[in-house]
Chains A and B, each alone.
Chain A
């Protein structure tokens, strides 16, 4: 039903397991996919899993905020077409108890999970970069129900969540939509359940549906990037099974 033909979508964090699934799904739905992330080897590996051709790899470290403007410009210049949307799959989920959550640690997580996101949204909204676009951010249920050790992570995702409505209102007249997905516990294929931290194991058990598959997050991301969700903006969508 959904197709993304003629859409040029930037996937930030495409070397991660959610980003990879999003990129693959986007390509199967007809989008031109621009893969970005820090790990070139992983980006290449994702690239070879994409369907169709015309996709590109543009390695970039999102923490290099001063270079985001040039980075976005270079993506437009790939084919002289503006970008139709991006998905922000970047994120750090490091755990530390309060006593070890010093300023440096908090700043590191805020930088990746929030400040870089805001900066790329700000520069992306330039009419020379994007048009009639859709933005999707991947947050976490930890933003509203964090566990021990997730202080900095929860706060950074909470900051991201609360920015969505404001950005939606500000970009509405530019015909740019923004939505946010808040998954509970995901389990990458290559990680065994038994090796997970206890808090995540408990979350998965409480969800009663099994862990959320990255494919399912990819499906929802594609829906929100597509014209089929036109008119839907400023929303945070919880994906948490029976953890309600």
Chain B
């Protein structure tokens, strides 16, 4: 049902079992996946390099912003500064095709829920569709499984009418 024929994905991340799982699933679906560590100094050069390699722009963009378990409020606020990098990359027309599916995955509970809406509207003309997942900080195997499938669904064309949403994928509190 979910297919990603001839798609190319850019993943900006740090090392994470969740991202490894998402990458693996995308690759299994035939997606060309380029992962770039967001902490490197020459991030943009690396992205550009991967573009010139086969001269193709990206149609999928995943930005992963994890946060350490039990992080303090101040470190959560501090991590929000990285949103600038995410928006900056998203603004680069040279990186992306038209009709791009973007997913911001974060475990920062202070992530502004309206951001996906604002970015979707900002990049409406470029047909960039932005959604976000707020996930459990604990990357347990169970969480990785459900988050990775949900990520693939939101990135796929099957979710093409789902725009600007932020889903909080956490265990239900009984």
Interface of A toward B, CB cutoff 8 Å: 1-2, 25, 29, 168-169, 172-173, 183-184, 207-209, 212, 216, 219-220, 222-223, 228-235, 237-242, 244
Contact = CB atoms under 8 A, between A and B. Distances in A.
B162 A239 contact: yes
Contacts, number: 81
A223 B173 CA distance: 23
Name A's interface SS: mixed
A219 B2 CA distance: 9
Given A220-B159, A223-B153, A244-B121, A173 B165 contact: no
Contact residues on B (Cβ < 8 Å of other chain), bracket: 20 to 34
Interface stretch (B62-70, B81-89, B100-108, B142-150): B142-150
Contacts of A29: 1
Nearest to A2: B1
A9 B3 CA distance: 23
From A2, A212, A223, A239, residue with most partner B Cβ within 10 Å: A223
B152 A1 contact: yes
Contacts of B159: 219-220
B161 interface: yes
Interface of B: 1-3, 29, 117, 120-121, 124, 142-143, 145-146, 149-150, 152-153, 158-165, 167, 169, 171-174
A235 B164 CA distance: 16
B158 A216 contact: yes
Given A1-B29, A229-B150, A242-B120, A237 B162 contact: yes
B164 A242 contact: yes
B117 A229 contact: no
Contact of A229 (B29, B121, B146, B173): B146
Given A168-B172, A231-B145, A231-B171, 14 more contacts: A1-B29, A25-B1, A223-B1, A223-B2, A231-B142, A232-B150, A237-B167, A239-B161, A239-B162, A241-B161, A241-B163, A242-B120, A244-B117, A244-B121
